[in-house]
Amino acid sequence: MTKTILITGSTDGIGLLTAKKLAVDGHKVLLHGRSAPKLEAAAAAVGGDVETYSADLSDLTAVRELAASVRAKHHKLDVLINNAGVLKAPQTVLANGQDIRFVVNTLAPYLLTELLLPVIPTEGRVVNLSSAAQASVNIKAMQGNVPLADMEAYAQSKLAITIWTQDWPKSRANAPVMIAINPGSLLASKMVKEGFGVAGNDMSIGADILIDAALGERFADASGAYFDNDSGTFANPHAAALDKGHVADVMNTIRGLTNHTG
């Protein structure tokens, strides 16, 4: 059966490739990006029955507007793939003092998911992009009070989304399945080419696992799990995700910064 699937950050990289593959299989893909020309180009490249949504996820007001736009057109969203992410940026500290990595990679997907939850059915899925790069979260840095180097901020933001994914189903009955995925390391996207100066591995490695997580049977009972596509298995995330105090601090900070208790 064909599904309606929103992929954030589907103007480039793994998200764009995932959108192309899903569209070929007949799914209705909702493309998201922050650049109107790139969205237009992505829609032309993906083809099929696509819609486009523009929002800069470094602005939580834009995230709220994105959720409202999607809900205005859809009473049911089968899958949300929180794929958009950033490692390096020309300006890493936003006007409000927060680090762009925490906002785009952790807070925006949390808020978007909470706001779209009423239209995601119980049998639906939320797929969150994690990474092999994970590090304990410096709460003060997440709040914007301590500057971090690019990789530190990125790795902390990726553990934070993984912690949220793991914690989320514990307080939810009859909720969609939520999974955190490391799509594979050093896949040949713009992020990897610009960030590490390497050509990178086939992006299909990442796109195919996202599609499996979104639709495949083996993820149907995996809510809260972390899947590491470097090893091809469900795995434990960074040890800090098992520290109850750390998890509580991260979750309280996410809720506070998004002004959304969930």
Ligand X SMILES: NC(=O)c1ccc[n+]([C@@H]2O[C@H](COP(=O)([O-])OP(=O)(O)OC[C@H]3O[C@@H](n4cnc5c(N)ncnc54)[C@H](OP(=O)(O)O)[C@@H]3O)[C@@H](O)[C@H]2O)c1
Residue 85 vs 124, nearer CB to ligand X: 85
Query: In this structure, are strands 4-7 and 177-182 parallel, antiparallel, or unpaired?
Result: unpaired
> Could you say whether residue 50 binds ligand X (CB under 6 A)?
no
256 backbone dihedrals φ, ψ, rounded to 5°: -65, -45
Q: What's the closest the beta carbon of residue 44 comes to ligand X, in angstroms?
A: 15
Q: How many residues bind ligand X (CB under 6 A)?
A: 29
Question: Distance (Å, rounded) from C-alpha 190 to C-alpha 230?
Answer: 19
From the CA atom positions of the chain, what is the Rg in Å?
Answer: 17
5, 29, 104, 177: residue in contact with ligand X (rule CB under 6 A): 104
Instruction: Provide the 3-class DSSP secondary structure of residue 56.
Output: coil
Q: Select the span of 20-28, 32-40, 163-171, 238-246 touching ligand X (CB under 6 A).
A: 32-40
Question: Distance (Å, rounded) from C-alpha 151 to C-alpha 4?
Answer: 34
> Could you say whether residue 35 binds ligand X (CB under 6 A)?
yes
Catalytic residue among 53, 110, 154, 226: 154
Residue 77 vs 104, nearer CB to ligand X: 104
Q: Please give the residues from 83 up to 102 whose contact with ligand X meets the rule CB under 6 A.
A: 83-86
Q: 58-62 — which CB contacts under 8 Å span 24+ positions? A: 58/86, 58/94, 58/100, 58/103, 58/104, 58/108, 60/103, 60/107, 60/108, 60/111, 60/258
Contacts (Cβ under 8 Å, ≥6 apart) of 90: none
Catalytic residue flag (residue 154): yes
> Could you say whether residue 157 binds ligand X (CB under 6 A)?
no
Q: Please give the residues from 178 up to 237 whose contact with ligand X meets the rule CB under 6 A.
A: 182-183, 185-187, 189-192
Q: Select the span of 45-53, 80-88, 214-222, 253-261 touching ligand X (CB under 6 A).
A: 80-88
Instruction: Provide the 3-class DSSP secondary structure of residue 208.
Output: helix
CA distances from 208 to 166, 211, 229, 244 (A): 22, 5, 10, 33
Q: What's the closest the beta carbon of residue 210 comes to ligand X, in angstroms?
A: 9
112 to 151: interface string for ligand X, x by CB under 6 A:
-----------------x-x--------------------
Q: Which residues pair with 32 in a beta bridge?
A: 53
What residues are annotated to the active site?
Answer: 154
> What does the binding site for ligand X look like in residue numbers (CB under 6 A)?
9, 11-15, 33-35, 38, 56-58, 83-86, 104, 129, 131, 182-183, 185-187, 189-192
